[in-house]
Amino acid sequence: MVKTLEIFGNYIDGKIDKDGEETTLLSPIDGSEFGKLYLADEEKTKAAIDSAESAFRKWSMTTLNQRQEILSKLLSIVEEKADRYAWLESANTGRTLRQSTFMDVTIAIEHIRYFATTTEFVESRTIEHPEYPGTKGIVQYRPFGVVGGVAPWNVPLLMAVWKIMPALLTGNTVVLKPSHFTPATAFELAKDLSAAGLPPGVLNVVTGEGSVVGTTLSRSEKIKVLSFTGSTATGKRVSREAGGTLKKILMELGGKSPNIVLSDADLDKAAKGVLFGIFLHSGQLCESGSRLLVHDDIKERLLSRIKFYMERMKPGNPLDMETDIGAITTREQRRKIEELYNRGLEEGAKLFFSHNLGTGVPEGGFYFPPTVFSDVSSTMDIAREEIFGPVLTVTDFHSDGEAADIANGSKYGLAAGIWSNSTSRATGLANRIDSGTVWINDYHMISAAAPRGGYKESGIGRELGLDGIMEYTQTRHLFYGSDENALGEIARGLVVSDHD
């Protein structure tokens, strides 16, 4: 790639810090050097936490309107720099530029807009006490303090927006750890928040190995809320590390989401939706529809349509707006995908289709062909384990009840899709599926106003929407006594009497 080498220093107390171990960032597009990154150590992470703690008191006293004004200024900056954000996201993650432009950056802008303009969140409400006539109370929704955010490598811009914006909106300060593989857009966002008027220390961004930076955030008594997105295995380890601190933990973890096509579905629409569900960002999304469950009456016809569209997916340089197939973000992840692919073959799954990338992708890049396994039983590892890559498994069913049983047979419960021409039938099935999001005749449509999170081993807590905002608040009750409250006088008389 012919671009100026990007340099990323940690962002602490409003300043860019380029002191620390230097590491090279390789672009998964062609394996070329994309940038330089300075890794934070435990001491630097603690400095970022201390900076956020020092900034908290003053920031928490700002008004909701003042905080939203800063987010509104950020919105204008990001809109103006949309092309820059899209390029950074694609060059750093290997995602196609078309997807970064029309999905990641577009959604990020709309989600910043939501937090900058929402009227759903209010900082207090008035209540009456039914036991004590004449009295009133104020229930306040107050910030916790310092929020630690640990983000994965797959969708760094959206992860940064989802972890920073609601925390700032509610008056918290933040220490964000983006992945040391894909830190580019998180650092860009931090700089732009500063330009929008965010005071020093309110947001700090440090990146490095999870065993160093992540563990320091988990164990710190000064971190009051920890928001983590990543694998279920890592999430369990984070919980153990944070266990002695009594901090609030929010987690969005792994998924093995079913995309269910019922017998009355529009097959052409369903085929496109299934492919979108699994191959967006090369399957490297927690909610990717990696399990296709299809009614046996329509299985062959649906697979025929899927193959028809897969043959037309265009490989190429992801920075070309015409390219359909992106890269795998890290070399390590490509290796994991290959291991599970080979295990599928060993287990007896039928290789229905694998796209021949040939010489169509840049040499030196990290790529894996879009792949479909058919005749997959629910007991196979490829149907149970999160592959986190462009691999779709196909399992058939005979009844809606059987589809629900197969869908719920996973330890995960992040998302699901249902395709049917009957809204009532689809809704009935959706109500039987254990997952945090169910799309009906659609997939991957994430709304800033809707809560997002998982059931079972897919997570704890919610992101986005009012539910996600409230996760960053703690309630306080102010009780206002009144002379009209006769019961109050009686209660005090239980201890202090006016009689001699």
Active site residues: 252, 286
CA distance linking residue 294 with residue 303, whole number of Å: 9
Q: Is 348 exposed, middle or buried (0-12, 13-18, 19+ CB in 10 A)?
A: exposed
Task: Evaluate the CA torsion angle 264, 269, 273, 279 in order and state its sign.
Answer: positive
d(CA 19, CA 182): 19
Tokens found for residue 197: 């008027």
Cα–Cα dist 426/117, whole Å: 33
Distance CA 410, CA 202 (A): 40
d(CA 378, CA 372): 15
Cα–Cα distance for residue pair 428/426, rounded to 1 Å: 5
- Give, in order, the Cα–Cα distances in Å from 469 to each of 143, 452, 473: 11, 11, 7
Q: Is 467 exposed, middle or buried (0-12, 13-18, 19+ CB in 10 A)?
A: middle
**Could you write out the DSSP letters of every residue in 153-210?**
SSSHHHHHHHHHHHHHHTT-EEEEE--SSS-HHHHHHHHHHHHTTPPTTSEEE----I
Q: Please tell me the distance from the alpha carbon of residue 108 to that of residue 28, in angstroms, as a whole number.
A: 22
